[in-house]
Structure 1
Amino acid sequence: MIAGMGDSGLLTAIHLARGRSPIPLPWLGSRPHCDVVGISSKPGLLSGQELGTRISRPDAWVRDHWISFDRFRGLDRVRTVHGSLVGLDTARARVDVALGDGSVVAEPYDVLVISTGVRNGFWRQPTLQTTTDIDRELGETHTSLDGATSVAVIGGGAAAVSSAANIAAVWPAKNVRLYFPGARALPAHHPRVWQHVRSRLDGLGVEMHSGHRAELPCDSGIDRIGTGPVHWTTGQPPASADAVVWAIGAVRPNTEWLPGDLLDEHGFVRVESDLRVVGQDRIFAVGDVAATDPLRNSARNRADRLMAHNVRATLRGGHRRHYRPRHRRWGSVLGVQRDGLEVFTPGGRPFRFPTWSIDTLLQPWIVRRGIYRGIRDPASATADDTGWSGN
């Protein structure tokens, strides 16, 4: 059972569902598979990555980051349930799922993988949504920014920096300002990354304002594109803008459905070094919801393979491996730009995929075939986001 089918959950499901060879050849070894059920509040992979591209160029973002489950060849053996997780009964080894029609079903498991992620601003919410809901939300967000003359981006992490850069690149006439609380943005990255990215922001005309810590709105204002003004706890005058993008990193784990004894004081799932939930032999957690390390970096460091190995080891009595976290964030910050995709190592060194390679090498071969094990074209997929899908 995969509870949560975001990036980490989906990849774990694909690894576990890989089947045996149709011709039994013992000397070649076997490829044991698991019967996998995936629970998701979305009818497909709705990635939390590349916020800047999502809000500025949604058509380009959708192609690579909003993909219905029936298009993934690696999920052909997986049964997916479109619903919201509302309860876990560890004694009976089952989860309760609320479906779109209001009914609640109980799904039993032999091993449970918790990968429900976190909510963070308007782009990462656990709400039960259909394809129509998601498409409408993407369009409305883009439209609200398109009509703004000035944009204030609040936050110092990669999501905020990417938003400011991409808005400025797509709409060069807009006044784009980035406000962050520290002396520099990207504090979880190597210092070299900010030095490099800052020069890109300068070239795009983004105004940068350090030392600004925002006073949060009283309501759910950070969960949508706001209109300001923004007030500061650090004493500066209020800032006004036609559109305010809140990307402050105030993550909240999607764990309301879990018993409290599985969680730490912040609501994240407590795990051992092998990603087993503390005190549980057959429950694991991976991704942003798992309290693996201060940065909760298991999703970014591809712990999905390790997770699949440990689930199989649990079922077969094998040896489980241990997760070793990195202590800095790494990877892409700005997403694909006119001159290609720049990716940073944990040591802050950039390397670039040139523009020509994005659609001819990176996406079709490395991502779609290598990482996701094949993705069908939209025309050949048959989406059904109303309840049950899969086998």
Structure 2
Amino acid sequence: MSRPRIVVAGLGDTGLLTAIHLHKHADVVGISAKPGLVSGQELGLRLARPQEWARDYWNHFDRYRKLDRVRTVHGSLAGLDLEKRAVQVVGADGTPSTEPYDALVIATGVTNGFWRRPDLQTAAEIDAEIAAAHQRLAEAATVIVIGGGAAAVSSALNAATTWPEKRVDLYFPGDRALPHHHGKVWTILRGRLERAGVGVHPGHRAVVPAGFGDGLAAGEVTWSTGQPASTADAVLWTIGRVTPNTGWLPPSLLDPDGFVAVDEYLRVPGAPGVYAIGDVAATDPLRTSARGRADGLLARNIRADLGDGTAKRFEPATRRWGSVVGAQGNKLEVFTAGGQSFSLPAWSFLQPWVVRRAIYKGMRR
């Protein structure tokens, strides 16, 4: 009996892990616009300490041992034929092709600022983009970070601790930042920001200009909440305005906001054999299937639908959890949904065991 064929569209954080779970049970094809994992996590580290960030979050696919039996295709997704069960792809060399499937995993994520885009890129282009953003931030004497989520808090703190001489200011519209985390998390991190010299400015709602997510250009920020305009050598917009990467999909699969509609098993209604996971999947208001590590559950459900085992419901988290600011001083602090924190000391020693072995099941040097 032939093995089922599973196509994973998008090999970001979640798609990559889903492919790793499935490689023993099917012929898996992964399609990616990048030649490796370029994570959307830990923007602050990526900007302030890019070499440290790249060690954990930017790795070529050939480093992942469990991808040895996964065929990876470097190209752009161009369409989906539900009747023929085939994905259309344009390769990095411009050659069109089709990838038939018995099961399809949509894991194409979202576009968010300059650091999360679906553009087809080479490794050299990725390296140059990361280096250029770091250089722009390094050269700025004053920095404004706009937004109240984890990316904003992490960017402000990492900039201030990496370059203590800079003036760094964090502006957000609510009474507190991190509104989707437990209140204790913001209390802890606000104190840390202030001790690092970051100016913390609640109650500031920015007037968003065209092209706000394109880079770190100098400029003026005006506020619809009535405060005087602010200026800086580098303005970083991390306002959570995301666009799902679903332009290649039939509109019938999408919710009114353009995300992929899914049921409690991460199946796409009305599309047999199609599933979605990660930020692109409309699982819940916070789209928690990525942070909630639903990759193992999805792999289980696909196997069940193919005749091996029983499916399990995905239960969304009500609050965000995890690391917010990345490793600091060789210690990684993780916050629970209830606001408690625990630290993993000597992170540079533990990281190969926790991430490379436990999560990715083995990585080459």
1:327-349 CA-partner distances (Å, limit 9, x unpaired):
00000011000161111000000
Contact 2:300 2:309 in 1 (8 A): no
Q: CA deviation at 1:222?
A: 1.6
On the 8 A contact 2:260/2:282 being kept in 1, the answer is yes
Conserved? CA contact 1:50–1:162, under 8 Å: yes
Q: Does the aligned pair in 1 maintain the 2:35–2:60 contact within 8 Å? A: yes
**Within the alignment, does 1:202 sit opposite 2:194 as a pair?**
yes
1:141 alignment partner, SS class: helix
TM-score normalised to structure 2 length: 0.97
**Alignment match, 2:12:** 6
Task: Describe the superposition over 1:98-142 as per-residue Cα deviations: whole angstroms up to 9, x where unpaired.
Answer: 112222111111100000000101110000000000000011001
Query: Unaligned stretches of 5+ in structure 1?
Result: 19-32, 378-391
Map 1:1-391 → 2, pairs under 5 A: 1-18=7-24, 33-218=25-210, 220-316=211-307, 318-338=309-329, 340-354=331-345, 356=346, 358-361=347-350, 363-377=351-365
State the one-letter code of the partner of 1:106: T
- Specify the SS of the correspondent of 1:188: coil
The separation in 1 between residues aligned to 2:68 and 2:330, in whole angstroms, is: 36
CA RMSD of aligned residues (A): 0.9
**Cα shift at 1:228:** 1.4
Aligned residue type for 1:376:
R
Contact 1:216 1:222 in 2 (8 A): no
- CA deviation digits over 1:245-265, x for unaligned, max 9? 111100110000000010001
Q: TM-score, normalised by structure 1?
A: 0.91
- Per the alignment, in what secondary structure is the counterpart of residue 334 of structure 1? coil
2: distance between equivalents of 1:258 and 1:178? 37
Cα deviation digits, residues 188-229 of structure 1 (max 9, x gap): 0000100011011011000011111111112x2322112110
C-alpha contact 1:253 1:289 (8 A) present in aligned 2: yes
Which residue identity does 1:364 align to in structure 2?
P
Q: Which amino acid aligns with 1:13?
A: A
> Does the CA-based 8 Å contact 2:110-2:244 persist in structure 1?
yes
Code of the aligned partner of 1:326:
A
Q: What letter corresponds to residue 127 of structure 1 in structure 2?
A: D
Higher relative contact order (CA 8 A, sep 6+): 1
Aligned length: 359
1:28 matched to which residue of 2? none
Identity rate of aligned residues, in percent? 59
Distance 1:78 1:338 in 2: 37
CA contact (8 A) 1:88 1:258 kept: yes
Please, which runs of 5 or more residues in structure 2 have no aligned partner? 1-6
Q: For residue 354 of structure 2, what is the amino acid of its counterpart?
A: I
How far apart are residue 311 of structure 1 and its match?
A: 0.9
Q: Are the aligned partners of 2:86 and 2:100 in contact in 1 as well (CA < 8 Å)?
A: yes
Letter in 2 for 1:368: R
Q: Any runs of at least 4 consecutive aligned residues in structure 1 with deviations exceeding 4 A, and if so which?
A: none
Three-state SS of the structure 1 residue aligned to 2:300 is helix
Single out whichever of 95-104 and 367-376 deviates more from structure 2: 95-104
SS of the aligned residue for 1:199 comes to: helix
CA shift at 1:285, angstroms? 0.3
1:317, distance to aligned residue in structure 2 (A)? 5.8
Q: Is the 8 A contact 1:148 1:174 kept in 2?
A: yes
C-alpha contact (below 8 Å) 1:313/1:320 kept by paired residues: yes
Give the Cα–Cα distance (whole angstroms) in 2 for the partners of residues 260 and 270 of structure 1: 10
Confirm or deny: 8 A CA contact 2:330 2:348 kept in the other structure. Answer: no
What is the Cα deviation at residue 277 of structure 1? 0.4
User: What displacement does 1:279 show?
Assistant: 1.4
Is the contact made by 2:147 and 2:171 (CA closer than 8 Å) also made in structure 1?
Answer: yes
Taking the aligned partners of 1:347 and 1:317, their CA distance within structure 2 comes to 36
Q: Distance in 2 between matches of 1:7 and 1:122?
A: 17
Structure 1 CA distance for aligned equivalents of residues 208 and 197 of structure 2: 26
**Structure 1 letter corresponding to 2:225:** T
1:52–1:162 Cα contact (<8 Å) kept: yes
